Structure 1
């Protein structure tokens, strides 16, 4: 018997689809259901390296499907997100099919040249999952009611059709206008897709449920679609899928876990906000560390913090130019605390970027780096995508740490040391003084690395760390508790 597919679609972007999908995956897995996540087409620069479905090495998928696979307790593969679009600026994206980067293109070119192939790729991936699992929890993208895209809406309309899916519509009450968004979405759906909507889940509710009841009754009477659940406002702590949750370029925002910690026992890590930032989820484990605050700052802002982390970037060369022009290079050279560069951030810390015209959008063959590490990065068309485990020999801002760390690499270019530097990760990476660079995404998901860096930041700041807190409930289990508010019996689950 082929798997049943539930499509978690939304009235808009950032309404909680990823959380609901992850929660359903964990809820069902806990009850012995063989469940798998799926997203036909994703647009995100937050990606993970996972096993390719054909067994040939590694490929890229969006971070939310990696998270949902963990929630479902199944190994993540490229079938969980067979089509990935990675924006790189100036209206261009990189197309990744079945985990493999194909080429860069403008938006219109994708629909003209690649969409049919992408649809076929997605449908075949779903067929493979459906043949080996009982339930597929598919996540839509943005709004399912984008009428200008209904003839080519792969993640929503086409998934509903080729997967023969039941649709759970998710609407966010916090942004206001929830009843209008539900009604408008249902009115604008193609008739065959509208007939697949089995219920609505309202997310991010605060307050007295009884005050909401009259509206729930009216919307059900008007549409004939039941409201199956009202989920309380809660952030389980799952990694964010895309840049919607980041502050806009040029603005600042601080996240972190103060949790009753006195101000004189907190530290702040500055994260310069690159225009083409990618894999910013790398810093989220730091923000969940007690007493640590992570502040996203504009490129031209002073680095008024206790440490700096440079995240990855989809286009190191263009972001290097932007960083230099904004004055970030001078700030980094003058900074006296710990600095860690991850992937593109590592490349940017070096002396120069060679063959820059391979990676950047301009014609320059060489672009200056910040000159904080004596390293040169040379770009080539080949792309490294792999999951890795390495022995950490702590040095620099990870001094004292030792053991095995795991993560993944997704990058173009290789970095060569121009001086005698420590190599903290089995020969990979570079460290000098309080500065460290590595291609290892997911570094701070490893407790030994995260704790070592936090200790280094506190020591550099001359502050005492607060006492550690007991382990918190798993974010997957918290998401499962949220979706338990939905009438899953009505969904047949």
Structure 2
């Protein structure tokens, strides 16, 4: 049976995913057969992966963090990596995905009444399969490991620590303040058997002289008996984010480098109320000279050089919100390159039929933005599949050639009303400067990314800067943080 370490947190967004991914790559670099795991996740950023266990499905969904961590571990992810995924839909309701398959839409209370036992059994079965096939399992917790109201049904933290017999690496974020109080409070409030499993603490997002923390570290270690095994500096390696908490405030910009302003372009992204799979934009934000600006629906596109309309968990409601704010007029008037992904593709079309499926009452037809001559019809069937296509670019992706890979997670079928180019597979469409596709992960393909960035620079009339295509990956950057600033041997002494 594998050795398991659970990367748990004192709160949400403290850096668990980064530490877990860095640990996966660090161990893989040492020749360790390692795999990620998260018993229960809540995220609208999902990836299609191979289905595992007793199922008739070929593909299923997992949260993006475990997909990324599997890449870091240099292993092929399956639905065992994240057997339970909750995808928020608004109004306190989530879609429940168990072993990669959507099984219902319920509010939180009903989830625990209806699905809890099934979810726990699925999580433990998935863990057992992974532990039998690998030497180390790096499990990731969720939120805080010490929530008294949740400890009897905390699948990602408490239950995982118990059925995996895991050592716990506790992560605390010092940037927010109160990190040392959070550490002590977490160890005090956690169930006794869980607190006893904590092998070490990692403090993340530290700026300044490490020695300044020594008095506080000494006191915490004396009070708790738990060593602080790492202080990680504030250095974002650029891993895809799991939820929108990590996004900048409205109007904020992601993507920083030393490129002079006259060689930069801005990709405007409408911040849809039910935004999902925004990690599709991460590869663009890592391109030198490209800034990704998440714009409130009240904003203008005057300063944007290109636009990506992202996925959404509820296309129709977000289309109506976009129209109410007047952003549909901004999209209609924008003359630069535009790409719509999944729900963003659907709302760029002429109309959407069967809209009642998405909870919009008696509405049967909703008019779209009208930038693409396509029509989408919703149904209850959901497509989840990884895909690879041989393509030829068109529209704002005119430079694409060869094959592209990604995944589809969507409901609804989209058909062209007039002849269109098909730049990214049979369900895509492109006319002039606008393209739409169901391909998530499209900008991870260098050809697609480069074609779109080139189109943005051409539209802006600016020259692209030179850059190093062999720069280290986000996985390597995360591994360097773990290697240089965390005493891994204190938590995994026998590797």
Q: TM bucket by the smaller chain?
A: over 0.9
Cα deviation for residue 456 of structure 1 reads: 0.8
Cα deviation for residue 400 of structure 1 reads: 2.5
Cα deviation for residue 427 of structure 1 reads: 2.4
Matched, 1:75 2:76: yes
The answer to whether the 8 A contact 1:290-1:469 is kept is no
Query: C-alpha distance in 1, partners of 2:426/2:81?
Result: 32
Cα deviation for residue 363 of structure 1 reads: 2.8
Cα deviation for residue 466 of structure 1 reads: 1.4
Q: Aligned residue for 1:256?
A: 255
Query: C-alpha distance in 2, partners of 1:237/1:471?
Result: 15
SS in 2 for 1:212: helix
Query: C-alpha distance in 2, partners of 1:307/1:179?
Result: 44
Cα deviation for residue 468 of structure 1 reads: 2.6
Matched, 1:293 2:291: yes
> Can you list the C-alpha shifts for 1:232-277, whole angstroms capped at 9, x where unaligned?
11111110011111245xx2111124x3222121111100000000
The answer to whether the 8 A contact 1:343-1:440 is kept is yes
> Can you list the C-alpha shifts for 1:411-465, whole angstroms capped at 9, x where unaligned?
0001010111111124230001100000000111111111111111111111111
Matched, 1:134 2:135: yes
Q: Aligned residue for 2:333?
A: 334
The answer to whether the 8 A contact 1:355-1:365 is kept is yes
Query: C-alpha distance in 2, partners of 1:325/1:482?
Result: 45
Alignment of 1:265-284 (within 5 A): 265-284=263-282
Query: C-alpha distance in 1, partners of 2:244/2:291?
Result: 19
The answer to whether the 8 A contact 2:62-2:81 is kept is yes
The answer to whether the 8 A contact 2:337-2:433 is kept is yes
Q: Aligned residue for 1:190?
A: 191
SS in 1 for 2:335: coil
Alignment of 1:12-27 (within 5 A): 12-27=11-26
Matched, 1:489 2:476: no
Q: 5+ unaligned residues in a row in structure 2: which ranges?
A: none
Matched, 1:447 2:451: no
Q: Aligned residue for 2:219?
A: 218
Q: Aligned residue for 1:318?
A: 317
The answer to whether the 8 A contact 2:248-2:254 is kept is no
Q: Aligned residue for 1:181?
A: 182
Query: C-alpha distance in 2, partners of 1:444/1:281?
Result: 10
Alignment of 1:7-156 (within 5 A): 7-54=6-53, 56-156=57-157
The answer to whether the 8 A contact 1:316-1:360 is kept is no
Query: C-alpha distance in 1, partners of 2:285/2:159?
Result: 37
The answer to whether the 8 A contact 2:414-2:427 is kept is no
**452-461 vs 463-472, which moves further:** 463-472
Cα deviation for residue 209 of structure 1 reads: 1.2
Cα deviation for residue 471 of structure 1 reads: 2.1
Cα deviation for residue 475 of structure 1 reads: 1.3
> Can you list the C-alpha shifts for 1:340-384, whole angstroms capped at 9, x where unaligned?
000000000001110001123433111111011111000000000
> Compared with structure 1, are the counterparts of its residues 339 and 360 closer, same or farther at alpha carbon in structure 2 (3 Å cutoff)?
farther
- The CA RMSD measured in Å over matched residues stands at 1.1
SS in 2 for 1:37: strand
Q: 5+ unaligned residues in a row in structure 1: which ranges?
A: none
SS in 1 for 2:402: strand
Alignment of 1:153-172 (within 5 A): 153-172=154-173
Matched residue count: 489
Cα deviation for residue 40 of structure 1 reads: 0.2
The answer to whether the 8 A contact 2:337-2:456 is kept is yes
Query: C-alpha distance in 2, partners of 1:401/1:272?
Result: 25
SS in 1 for 2:137: strand
SS in 1 for 2:75: coil
> Can you list the C-alpha shifts for 1:95-125, whole angstroms capped at 9, x where unaligned?
0000000010011110111111100110110
Query: C-alpha distance in 1, partners of 2:466/2:70?
Result: 33
Query: C-alpha distance in 2, partners of 1:426/1:151?
Result: 46
